[in-house]
Amino acid sequence: MATEHEQEFGAVSRVRGKVFEAVSFGSSVLGIVALAVLLVFVVVDAFGLAAADTGWILTYVAALVVPMLALWCYRLDDQWLVRRAGAALLVGAPAAFLLETALAAVGVSIPTLNWELLYLFAVVVPVTGTVLVTGRDGPVGGAANGLFGRILGGAVFAAGLVVVFEILDPQLWFLVYSLAVLPAVGCVAYARQNPTSILGRLRIPVGVLGLFAAVAIHRVFLITVPYWVFHVWALAVPVAVATAWLDDEPETDAGWMTTAGVTLLVLVVGSLAIGTQGIAASYGLLLLIGLVPAGRYAFDTAGTSPERIGLLAPLVLGIGIVIGTIVANALGIAGPDPWLDSGFLTNPPSGTASEAGFYPAIVGSVLVIAVVAVLSFAFGVGTAIFLEEYTADEGLVGSLTRLIQINIANLAAVPSVVYGLLGLALFANMLGFGLGTVVTAGLTLSLLILPITIISAQEALRAVPDDLRRGSDAMGATRWQTTRNVVVPEALPGIFTGTILALGRAIGETAPLLLIGAVTARTAAPSGVFDQVSAMPLQLFNWYGQPEPFPRGVVPAGVVTLLLVLLVMNGTAILLRNRYERSDG
Amino acid sequence: MSAEPDAPDLTRDSALSDLRERGYAGFFVGCAVLTLATTLSIAAMLLLRSAEFFSEYDAGSFLTGTTFRASNEVFGILPLALATLFVTITAAIVALPIGTLTAIYLSEYASGRVRAILKPLLEILAGVPTIVYGIFALVYVTPVLQLLFPGLPTFNLLSASLMIGIMTIPMVSSISEDAMSAVPDDLRQAGYGLGATKFEVSTGVVVPASVSGIASSYILAVSRAIGETMIIAVAAGTQANMPTVREAGGVIPYVHPGEVLLEPGMTITSAMVHTRGGELTGGSIAYDALFALGLTLFVGTLVLNVASDVVAERYREEY
């Protein structure tokens, strides 16, 4: 700095600093705002919101959003928030209308957005989001959020089960359950009662043997169990037992039996009841299994006084939808014309836009991600454990560690398309796993996200306090025993969070899949790991160049589906991290 | 859960447990070595197939050829390289200033609460799948740009470049912000003590003190922009266009940016994606050409990544 020559104090102006602060703030939000605007347009297109008549959105805001927000705000201490939210909802609609009129008077019109959509996305969505997030601090909102979270999670889980049983033969699960899972669990349970027994240490051999036996029997004999036996024996009973076992409340055998019995009864009777309504009873059972956590939560919360009101949230939602529909029909207001509907999620792709669906792509993505999850978790955590727990500062191991560490940093920056070339040459052509099969895709994407998985697992392992390791060492534990009993359990939530975030990266990858020869459009879901696979991003790549209405209808629907899947995955990861951090501090 | 906690199995009595100990250690070393094997096999595959390619195709006409048309087996990399260059420059013009200003705002101006909201939101920008950005560019951004540039074709490099710029903002901002946060508070206080304003401290003290981190983030962002594939593959079409090379003052050759950005085009990465169709079982020259393109890309990004490391290490101010 200039210290030698005299410097004169000029006039200090605030303007320059203020302008700079404003400009840098603007830059910080510029990218976010751009993305938000693009997301609004893609959502409007995916749900065909622009086709709704004027008044449709206002009707549903009045019938659905306002009662819901009122429920969340009930007994909430934050009066400031409640007043602001109410005022924004009231003033927002006329303000949006005036804005559009004013813009039209100047001759500007925003394409596809009318004032109602402007109101929806600029006022209703942010206000609802804020109230839902802030409202969890209140007793009622907290209970409502808890219930909705469990319903949502359960629905996702049930959908996953449906997909799994679409691909896997349910008979195989019947055999695996009867021959492997049940005996292994029996060993563990017996060892709990008699700690000296050797049976407890046999749980893994018993399970593995059972697994092999089940697969062998499934290959050789064609055993067909009646579906109701399969469902009750291999799905409903274990879920009922697990529910009772995970429940802290019943201390007595009688209470335990009651919980299990009631759950079993609800599952069986409920699925039979759903079976009469046109949906297959098997899907009804899976759906009910998904709803078990929500049911337990409602059952537990129903006793506590202010929270109890929060359990009305699904009812308010349902009544709101019914009233909204009745009012809209009575006034003759047409609703939106969504591209993203149940047909889109269950149909195969088609050249006709109105029949085009995403189903094989969704199943393909799920299968590939399952393979990637297993592989990248095993190898990522293995590498991280070596680098954090088994390493040394010097010698051969020390230099190996440093080399691997540099290597991982560089691998993380290799363009994904290059991994595609690796998968193409190595897995598809050289090792003969086939072009575009589930295995090839899974292996390629695993290598792609391995550096990210390793780095996040390392961070999780590093966060485990050293005292715990020393304590375990002092007990005479070996390095593996310390790692297994102390370090890994402590780091597991962090490892899971990092792995899920990395899987989110894998699910959106397109270029490597294109290069390993995955087909962009498949009309059937893959039936095994050596089958050719499509995936959500690949299906989008197949559609993007087709004529209208693909770019403004089918493609946005696919984009929104992909983003929703990502949202669920990342939301799970963030929930896991928050819960873990809270219990830590 | 059971009332009593499970006592961990701490027996170390037999040869079996010793074997187990070694077995697990071996597995972990194996996992770690797998990452090295990945790098080696990437390098080996790229070199092997590229060698095959250059034994059939003249390296000179690969590097200086002005036409790229896989169906005619003509593989001149020059139009692809020029498109890559202009896309990267455009993305950098968007991402570098915005990313730096964002980093300054987050590190110097933002309150803890604002930072806690803005940082995860910025991470979302990097988490959106790139094919989604490509579709955004094609379906929503290009029509807006067509208002500014009448006659802009549906597939063009400009909207793709802008999207790449937006996608790379968080890369610049997060690494730069880390570097700025690492600047000790003493330096800022010294600046205030001399009578400097917050603006002067931010731009005159913090930014120069963290310049190595900022530079390394720039290089990484550029490397990421070069390697970006799907945005261009979706939004910029399937033709490789060679712009007219003019000469400024009759000596220095130059290319008008508009002739590249306002036209359809293919970069090195998107050419790989669009060439692949039907050429994947091996044996054809187009298959080997993929690997030659991949090698070019791999070497280019590797050099930039190493450069970024070197800059961050060598020019780092130690406090």
Q: What is the 3-state secondary structure (H, E, C) of chain B?
A: CCCCCCCCCCCCCCHHHHHHHHHHHHHHHHHHHHHHHHHHHHHHHHHHHHHHHHHHCCHHHHHHCCCEEHHHCEECCHHHHHHHHHHHHHHHHHHHHHHHHHHHHHHHHCCHHHHHHHHHHHHHHHHCCHHHHHHHHHHHHHHHHHHHCCCCCCCCHHHHHHHHHHHHHHHHHHHHHHHHHCCCHHHHHHHHHCCCCHHHHHHHHHHHHCHHHHHHHHHHHHHHHHHCCHHHHHHCCCCCCCCCEEEECCCEEEECHHHHHCCCCCCHHHHHHHHCCCCCCCCCHHHHHHHHHHHHHHHHHHHHHHHHHHHHHHCCCCC
A461 in any annotated domain: yes
Average pLDDT over residues B73-84: 91
Same domain, A155 and A86: no
pLDDT of residue B260: 85
Convert the pLDDT of each residue in A130-148 to its tens digit.
888 877 777 788 888 888 8
Interchain CB distance below 8 Å, A421 and B127: no
The overall average pLDDT reported for chain B is 88
Domain C-terminal end among A110, A137, A164: A137
**Among A106, A137, A168, residue at a domain's last position:** A137
**Distance in Å, alpha carbon of B313 to nearest chain A alpha carbon:** 13
Indicate whether A6 belongs to any domain.
Answer: no
| A399 and A271 belong to one structural domain | no
Comparing CB atoms, the residue among A1, A23, A35 nearest residue B125 is A35
Q: Which residue in B has a C-alpha nearest to residue A397's C-alpha?
A: B29
pLDDT (0 to 100) of residue A381: 93
Indicate whether A474 belongs to any domain: no
Does residue A6 register a pLDDT over 80? no
Residue A532: Cβ within 10 Å count? 18
Residues of A in contact with B28 (CB under 8 A): 382-383, 385-386, 389-390
Domain membership flag for residue A460: yes
The C-alpha atoms of residue A180 and residue A214 are separated, in whole angstroms, by 7
Whether A63 and A156 map to the same domain: the answer is no
> Does any CB of chain B come closer than 8 Å to the CB of residue A507?
yes
What is the model's pLDDT at position B312?
Answer: 83
State whether residue A208 sits within 8 Å of chain B by CB: no
B122/A contact by beta carbon, under 8 A: yes
Set of chain A residues whose Cβ sits within 8 Å of the Cβ of B194: 1
In-domain check, residue A4: no
Q: Are residues A313 and A253 in the same domain?
A: yes
Report yes or no: B46 at the A interface, CB cutoff 8 Å: yes
**Residue A73 pLDDT greater than 70, yes or no:** yes
pLDDT of residue B5: 47
Chain A residues with CB under 8 Å of B20 CB are 480
Q: Is the model's pLDDT at A254 over the cut of 80?
A: no
Which among A415, A485, A515 is the nearest to B8, CB-wise? Answer: A485
Same domain, A330 and A352: no
Across-strand partners of B75? B68
CB A271 within 8 A of CB A281: yes
Most confident of A29-33, A90-94, A480-484: A29-33
Nearest in space to A92 (alpha carbons), one of A120, A72, A67: A120
Structure tokens at B95: 């991402």
Identify residue A19 by its one-letter amino acid code.
V
pLDDT, mean of residues A499-525: 86
The answer to whether A421 faces chain B, any CB pair under 8 Å, is yes
A330 shares its domain with A373: no
As a whole number, mean pLDDT of residues A398-405 equals 88
CB-based contact, A400 to chain B, within 8 Å: yes
Nearest by CB to residue B276, choosing from A481, A514, A555, is A514
- Return all residues near A424 (Cβ < 8 A) that are at least 6 apart: A435, A515, A516, A517, B280, B290
Best to test chain B binding among A385, A418, A561 (most B CBs inside 10 Å): A418
A437 neighbors A477 (Cβ within 8 angstroms):
no
Residues A132 and A154 in one domain: no
Query: What is the spatial distance between Cα A475 and Cα A468, in angstroms, rounded to a whole number?
Result: 11
The residue with tokens 């991290």 is A577
Same domain, A439 and A361: yes
Rounded average pLDDT over B122-130? 90
Report CA dihedral (A42, A45, A46, A47) to the nearest 10 degrees. Answer: 130
Domain boundary among A104, A120, A137: A137
Contact B135 A555 (CB under 8 A): yes
What's the CA gap between A458 and A495, in Å, rounded? 8
User: What is the count of residue pairs from A and B with beta carbons less than 8 Å apart?
Assistant: 262
Of B286, B272, B191, give the one whose Cα is nearest residue B226.
B272
Inter-chain touch A404–B35, beta carbons under 8 Å = yes
Q: Any CB–CB contact under 8 A between B273 and chain A?
A: yes
Please check whether residues A441 and A354 belong to one and the same domain: yes
The overall longest dimension of chain A from CA atoms, in Å, is 97
pLDDT of A425-465, one tens digit each? 899 888 888 888 889 999 999 999 999 999 999 999 999 99
Whether residues A66 and A48 fall in one domain: yes
- Higher-confidence position of A234 and B262: B262
pLDDT at A1 over 50: no
The beta-carbon neighbor of A32 closest among B29, B125, B140 is: B125
Residue A1 lies in a domain: no
Q: Does the CB of A511 have a partner CB in chain B at under 8 Å?
A: yes
The residues facing B252 across adjacent strands are: B248
Percent of chain A with pLDDT over 70: 95
A-chain residue closest to B26, CA distance: A386
Report the CATH fold assignment for B75-314.
MetI-like fold (1.10.3720)
Parent domain of A266 = 143-337
If one compares A361 and B316, the residue with the highest pLDDT of the two is A361
Q: Give A34's contacts in chain B (Cβ within 8 Å).
A: 166
Locate the chain A residue with the closest alpha carbon to B296.
A418
pLDDT of res. A2: 46
- 50-69 in A: which are within 8 Å (CB) of B? none
Higher pLDDT: B21 or B105? It is B105
DSSP 8-state secondary structure symbol assigned to residue A530:
T
A541: CATH? 1.10.3720.10
**Residue contact B229–A485, C-beta within 8 A:** no
Q: What is the mean pLDDT of chain A?
A: 83
Same domain, A59 and A151: no
What pLDDT was estimated at residue B3?
A: 40
Chain B residue at shortest CA distance from A409: B305
Instruction: Say if A410 falls within a structural domain.
Output: yes
Specify the higher pLDDT residue, B103 or A525.
Answer: B103
Asked whether residue B8 carries a pLDDT value surpassing 60, the answer given is: no
Residue A289 confidence (pLDDT): 81
Tell me which chain A residues have a C-beta less than 8 angstroms from the C-beta of B127.
504-505, 566, 570
Distance CA B105, CA B101 (A): 6
DSSP per-residue codes, A394-460: SHHHHHHHHHHHHHHHHHTTS-HHHHHHHIIIIIIIIS---TTBHHHHHHHHHHHHHHHHHHHHHHH
Q: Which of A9, A18, A27 to mutate to test the interface with B (most CBs of B within 10 A)?
A: A27
- Which of the pair, A342 or B127, is modelled with greater confidence? B127
CA of residue B28 relative to chain centroid, distance? 30
Number of structural domains in chain A = 3
Nearest CB to A410 within list B169, B273, B305: B305
Q: Does A191 touch chain B (CB under 8 A)?
A: no
Q: pTM (2 decimals)?
A: 0.88
Give chain B positions within 8 Å (CB) of A42.
Answer: 135-136, 140
Domain co-membership, A443 together with A536: yes
C-beta of residue A247 within 8 angstroms of C-beta of residue A296: yes
Judged by a CB distance cut-off of 8 A, whether residue B290 touches chain A is yes
Highest mean pLDDT among A224-238, B84-98, B106-120: B84-98
Highest mean pLDDT among A96-110, A236-250, B70-84: B70-84
Question: What pLDDT score does A518 carry?
Answer: 78
| Residues found in chain B | 319
Closest partner residue to A562 (CB to CB) among B12, B132, B226 is B132
Mean pLDDT lowest among A190-194, A336-340, A568-572: A190-194
| Inter-chain CB proximity A451 and B281 less than 8 Å | no
Q: Is the pLDDT of residue A354 over 90?
A: no
pLDDT of A77: 74
Residue A7 has pLDDT above 60, yes or no: no
The answer to whether B135 faces chain A, any CB pair under 8 Å, is yes
Residue B171, pLDDT > 70, answer yes
Q: Is pLDDT larger for residue A277 or for residue B146?
A: B146
- Range among A149-163, A344-358, A460-474 with highest mean pLDDT value: A460-474
Q: Which of A414, A450, A508 sits opposite B129 (nearest CB)?
A: A508
Higher local confidence (pLDDT), A527 or B84:
B84
Once rounded to an integer, what is the mean pLDDT over residues A92-109? 86
